[in-house]
């Protein structure tokens, strides 16, 4: 029969006089952080440790297993063994965090870190105010937000790299749950000037104009492309002159006269108000609404931190409704 003993440093399993040392849980947590950041320096910054300390801990794990966990070329890449360890180490880390958070929640003291992924519009325009309100209620919780496009964030939630996602489109993933938490409108913005001296145009007229678009995987682009398909056309029939990886980059390009673009209304509110850009209606498209969604994994229990944050988001939606 196993007589397990848990200490803060090392866990030892004992059975009939023999003992098997198991690696320290902290080493697994450090390894997982390096894996997620793909960088010893970024992992060190996130953990509040020095880079040599983080490197030393990873080497200790490699000595423990007798194999390399990362290929240290120009960029850090996990080996096959590293991928296996991360898959199981992440679950161990999640269980530990859930246990600690459940106890804190039971004692009405929510503390810890909540790792969130967000696409551009939710991450830059919708979440900051919600995080601020959440911090007022739970000052002991630190929320980390990773920004990416919608497809990237959905992939991160599915892989367990973030516990909660906020995205701009509903993607068909069977093991994920999407819930609407906010809505917005997509609008065509253009630089002021004679070339765009109109308040509206037809889709045929738009085909002749220079257009800027977000990268593939962007929720804004996915919604726009879906609407074009409904109208029997596609981006390949428009005059796309540039594909840019952020809303900010596109806004700057539009202001400099490179072309027009379809963007989220909440993202261009300041530019429209300052007359840096103008809004033009596309007659066939009309009003193009888009929803934003929270996304979580159906296969993992939500931590008390995640559930508390989702409760605040749901309360915010009720106020708007």
Are 256 and 190 within 8 A, CB to CB? no
Q: Are 102-182+291-320 and 186-289 equal in CATH topology? A: yes
Whole-number Å distance between alpha carbons of 167 and 150: 5
CA-CA distance, 86 to 89, in Å (whole number)?
5
Give the CB-side neighbour count of residue 302, counting CA atoms within 13 A. Answer: 17
The answer to pTM > 0.75 is no
- Both structure tokens of 110: 């929510």
CATH code of the domain made up of 11-94: 1.10.10.10
How far apart are alpha carbons 214 and 242 in whole angstroms? 9
Per-domain boundaries in the chain: 11-94, 102-182+291-320, 186-289
Find the distance separating the first CA and the last CA of the chain, reported in whole Å.
Answer: 58
Asked if residues 165 and 154 have their Cβ atoms less than 8 Å apart, the reply is yes
When pLDDT is cut at 50, 70 and 90, the band that residue 59 belongs to is very high
Query: Is 26 or 80 the better-scoring residue by pLDDT?
Result: 80
pLDDT tens-place string over residues 176-235: 999 999 999 999 999 988 888 888 999 999 999 999 999 888 888 988 999 999 999 999
pLDDT for 4 equals 36
User: Which range has the worst mean pLDDT, 2-6, 51-55, 123-127, 202-206?
Assistant: 2-6
Q: What is the pLDDT of residue 231?
A: 92
* Whole-angstrom distance, CA of residue 1 vs CA of residue 51: 41
Give yes or no for residue 9 having a pLDDT over 60: no
Fold observed for domain 186-289: D-Maltodextrin-Binding Protein; domain 2 (3.40.190)
Q: Looking at residues 108-124, what average pLDDT do you find? A: 87
pLDDT value for 20: 34
CATH class held by domain 102-182+291-320 = alpha beta
What pLDDT score does 14 carry?
Answer: 39
> What confidence tens digit (pLDDT) does each residue in 247-287 have?
899 999 999 999 999 999 999 998 888 889 999 999 998 88
> What SS3 state is found at 85?
helix
User: Any residues with CB less than 8 A from the CB of 29 and at least 6 apart, and which?
Assistant: 89, 93
Tell me the mean pLDDT in the region 72-84: 87
């Amino acid at each position: 029969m196993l007589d397990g003993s848990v200490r803060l440093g090392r866990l030892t399993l004992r059975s009939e006089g023999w003992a098997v040392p198991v690696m320290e849980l902290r080493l697994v947590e450090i390894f997982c952080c390096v894996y997620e950041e793909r960088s010893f320096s970024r992992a060190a910054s996130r953990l509040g440790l020095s880079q040599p300390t983080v490197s030393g801990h990873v080497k200790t794990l490699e000595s423990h297993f007798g194999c390399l966990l990362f290929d240290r070329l120009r960029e850090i890449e996990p080996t096959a063994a590293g991928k296996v360890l991360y898959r199981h180490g992440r679950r161990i880390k999640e269980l530990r965090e859930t246990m600690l958070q459940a106890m804190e929640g039971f004692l009405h003291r929510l503390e810890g870190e909540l790792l969130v992924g967000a696409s551009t519009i939710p991450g830059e325009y919708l979440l900051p105010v919600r995080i601020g309100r959440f911090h007022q209620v739970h000052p002991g919780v630190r929320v980390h937000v990773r920004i990416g496009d919608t497809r990237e964030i959905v992939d991160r939630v599915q892989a367990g790299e973030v516990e909660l996602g906020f995205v701009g489109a509903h993607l068909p993933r069977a093991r994920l749950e999407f819930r609407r938490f906010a809505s917005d409108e997509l609008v065509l913005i253009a630089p002021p000037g004679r070339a765009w001296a109109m308040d509206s145009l037809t889709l045929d007229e738009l085909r002749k104009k220079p257009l800027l678009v977000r990268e593939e995987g962007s929720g804004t682009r996915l919604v726009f492309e879906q609407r074009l398909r409904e109208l029997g056309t596609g981006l390949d029939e428009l005059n796309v002159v540039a594909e840019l990886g952020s809303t900010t980059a596109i806004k700057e390009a539009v202001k400099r006269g490179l072309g027009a673009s379809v963007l989220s209304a909440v993202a261009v509110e300041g530019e429209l108000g300052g007359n840096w850009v103008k809004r033009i209606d596309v007659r066939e498209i009309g009003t193009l609404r888009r929803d934003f969604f929270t996304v979580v994994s159906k296969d993992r229990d939500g931590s008390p931190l995640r559930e508390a944050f989702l409760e605040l988001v749901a309360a915010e939606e009720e106020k708007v409704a």
